[in-house]
Structure formats: structure tokens, C-alpha cells
Amino acid sequence: MRPLAAALVSLLVAACTSSEPAPAPATADAGTTPLQTNNPATQHVIDGLGIPARMWLLGVRATLPSALCGNEFFRTCFPRAMNDCTDHARRAFDECVAQMPDVIPRSPNASNGAEAGALLGQCSGTELQRGLERAGLRDRGTECTRMEQTLLREMAAARP
């Protein structure tokens, strides 16, 4: 049910699409703030970004994992994953950055930041859901099933 995560992420995008860069750590110069990942393909993308895009990506990468993991769908359907959820979500985000490098706005503003945040958020939510399901961490309880059915009905009703 991959569309579920994508639908949920639309609710989370606002938290991740600010055109304002994330504040740099107090001990680092904003131009040299590291954005490191264990994913070589993602690191290659990051290394090729200018400072505004790197700072925007840093802000989204810092915000999105906790937004996804705090979402009722993930808390209800993947309760056994909550201790490590932000690590899983960060890896999912890094994977999406590597898959979609052209989505990252080179000169972020409210419009292109919202669009890019939505695309990266949808991808990250879907990848997180897939990864947690592959790891066998999904709860097949009644509440999760009910939540899925409700979300699928809402998605079907929202389609043009």
C-alpha cells in the first residue's frame, strides 16, 4: 500500500518546505556546514550543491524524519520501529536524494522548495514504508487496517 505513505506525506510537507535555510550549527560556518551521509550516491549529489541548496537540503533532512516518524500512520502501523524510525527515515530520504537529484532546487524559494519538499517527502514516506515492511516491522492489527482503508478512500475521493 505504497500510496498510503505518499498521501500521508502531503500532510507533512509544510514542515519541510520553508524557503528559509536551516540554521547552521553554532560552531560551523554556514558555507562549510557538513551534510554527510553514508550513501555514496547521495553524498555525490550533496557535494555538487551550492550553499543555498545545501542548506535547504540540510533543513529538510533534519525535519522530515521526525515528521514522518511522528505521523499517526507510522506510529500505529510500525510501533516496533519507533526506536529507530528516524534512522530508517533518514536513510529513506538519502535514497530519494540519490534517486532524484534534479528535484533539489539550486536557488530555493517558497515555490520550488514546496514542490521539491513534496516530491522528496512522498518518495521518503514510500521508501520508509517499504523498508519497514521488508524488515517485518509492520503491525497487522485492526487499527492499522482501518486507518489504511480510510486513507485509501480519501485518496480515491480526492482524485480528479
Predicted confidence (pLDDT) per residue in 26-84, tens digit: 333 334 345 666 677 777 777 777 888 888 988 898 899 999 999 988 999 999 999 99
What letter represents residue 139's amino acid?
Answer: D
Residue 28 falls within a domain, yes or no?
no
Residue 24 falls within a domain, yes or no?
no
pLDDT of 136 reads 93
Residue 39 falls within a domain, yes or no?
yes
Long-range contacts made by residues 78-87, C-beta under 8 angstroms, separation at least 24? 78/132, 78/137, 78/138, 78/139, 79/139, 80/137, 80/139, 81/132, 81/135, 81/137, 85/128
pTM, entire model: 0.72
Low-confidence winner among 7-16, 96-105, 109-118, 140-149 (lowest mean pLDDT): 7-16
Low-confidence winner among 8-12, 37-41, 75-79, 143-147 (lowest mean pLDDT): 8-12
Residue holding cell 554527510?
Answer: 36
Residue holding cell 543555498?
Answer: 52
Cβ burial 108-140 (10 Å sphere, 16+ → b, else e): beeebbbebbbbbbbbbbbbbbebbeeeebbee
Q: How many domains does the chain have?
A: 1
Neighbours of 151 (CB within 10 A): 17
Residue 149 falls within a domain, yes or no?
yes
* C-alpha span between 104 and 54 (Å, rounded): 9
In tens, the pLDDT along 81-110 reads 999 999 999 999 999 999 999 999 989 998
Residue from 91, 26, 89, 31 nearest 55 by CA: 31
Are 3 and 130 in contact, with CB atoms under 8 Å apart? no
pLDDT of 26 reads 33
In tens, the pLDDT along 113-131 reads 999 998 999 899 999 999 9
Range of the domain at 129: 2-19+35-158
